[in-house]
């Protein structure tokens, strides 16, 4: 019964997208996309709902293996991870575009919570030794905020649990975990790391998840690559222009738990399709915050794919 119900939802979503006219009918030559099932997958949601054979969603921890397997024509992955693998010669995927621009938030149940509350306080981040943690510490330092101590948990889900269980906790978490927490407890509020990042760098968000394209596919199917990139750009754009369609698709695909969380969280996931060539300055600015996350230097020219 559950399988039948899910199948009916899929059919309804696909029908809705066709009626709305997503403009994705042109063939992309059977190209395949692999993406994490979390927030980055939202950029593909309407495309995956309309063409389920095109997109495969996997656990984030398996993305590195996807680069090695080279089964996918496109991979959505943390931009720094893709850059580091490429520099090390462990990836033949070049950056085609940036899809997400930062979904990190400092959060607390504290009344009238503001970023200055982290000064001299205990702060819990997630992902020790990752770019997310490096960016958090960078913006705090640039704002003159020095926590008394910094602890680390493994994931945004872990810091969300702490946020809900300890009313005095001040943590870094991410969307959609923050929205899910605020739905459970209205005292929870968040401060976008993106806003702080823009204050200290002048850039609107930081390049977080990239769209990578396999070099062999570029050589053998250049026109199909262009068509698929147009489809992905349109799907990503619907996160801003057609929230209803993305919400329906995200729930049907089980990318998000329910329509309430989806409709509230998607606008805060900073999803924007920006071609790699246009994002280069922002990528280099972010890389210089912690070059170790990018293999020790900013990405070289051949890392970027530019459609002719």
Over the stretch 152-202, which tens digit does the pLDDT of each residue have? 999 999 999 999 999 999 999 999 999 999 999 999 999 999 999 999 999
Q: Domains along the chain? A: 2-100+207-303 (3.40.190.10), 104-201 (3.40.190.10)
Token pair for 157: 């889900």
Q: Which of 68, 35, 74, 52 is nearest to 217 (CA)?
A: 74
Percent of the chain with pLDDT strictly greater than 90: 88
pLDDT level of residue 39 (50, 70, 90 thresholds): confident
Phi and psi angles of residue 142, each rounded to the nearest 5 degrees, phi first: -65, -25
State how far the Cα of 283 lies from the Cα of 278, in Å rounded to an integer.
10
State how far the Cα of 132 lies from the Cα of 168, in Å rounded to an integer.
23
pLDDT of 120 strictly over 60:
yes
> What's the pLDDT at 11?
44
Using one digit for the tens of pLDDT, what is the confidence trace for 51-108? 999 999 999 999 999 999 999 999 999 999 999 999 999 999 999 999 999 999 999 9
Q: Please say whether the beta carbons of 28 and 228 come within 8 A.
A: yes
Helix%, strand%, coil% for the chain, nearest 5: 50, 20, 30
State how far the Cα of 281 lies from the Cα of 294, in Å rounded to an integer.
15
State how far the Cα of 209 lies from the Cα of 38, in Å rounded to an integer.
11
Collapsed DSSP state (helix, strand, coil) of residue 212: strand
Overall average pLDDT of the 116-142 stretch = 96
pLDDT of 2 strictly over 80:
no
Overall average pLDDT of the 288-297 stretch = 96
């Amino acid at each position: 019964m559950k399988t039948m119900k899910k199948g009916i939802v899929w059919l309804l979503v696909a029908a809705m997208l066709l009626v709305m006219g997503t403009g994705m009918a042109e063939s992309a030559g059977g190209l395949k996309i692999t993406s994490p099932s979390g927030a980055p997958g939202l950029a593909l949601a309407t495309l995956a709902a309309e063409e389920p054979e095109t997109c495969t969603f996997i656990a984030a921890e398996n993305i590195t293996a996807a680069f090695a397997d080279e089964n996918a024509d496109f991979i959505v992955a943390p931009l720094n991870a893709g850059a580091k693998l490429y520099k090390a010669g462990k990836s033949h995927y070049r950056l085609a575009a940036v899809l997400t621009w930062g979904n990190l938030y400092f959060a607390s149940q504290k009344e009238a919570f503001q970023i200055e509350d982290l000064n001299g306080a205990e702060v819990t981040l997630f992902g020790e030794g990752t770019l997310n943690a490096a960016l958090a510490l960078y913006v705090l330092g640039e704002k003159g905020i020095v926590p008394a101590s910094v602890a680390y948990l493994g994931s945004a889900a872990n810091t969300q649990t702490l946020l809900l269980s300890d009313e005095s906790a001040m943590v870094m978490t991410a969307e959609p975990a923050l929205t899910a927490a605020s739905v459970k407890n209205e005292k929870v509020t968040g401060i976008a790391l993106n806003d702080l990042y823009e204050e200290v760098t002048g850039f609107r968000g930081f390049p977080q998840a990239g769209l990578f394209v396999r070099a062999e596919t570029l050589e053998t199917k250049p026109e199909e690559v262009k068509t698929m990139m147009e489809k992905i750009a349109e799907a990503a754009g619907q996160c801003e222009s057609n929230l209803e369609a993305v919400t329906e698709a995200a729930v049907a695909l089980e990318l998000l738990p329910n329509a309430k969380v989806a409709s509230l969280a998607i606008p805060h996931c900073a999803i924007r399709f920006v071609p790699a060539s246009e994002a280069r300055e922002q990528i280099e600015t972010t890389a210089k915050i912690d070059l170790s996350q990018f293999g020790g230097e900013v990405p070289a020219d051949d890392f970027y794919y530019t459609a002719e």
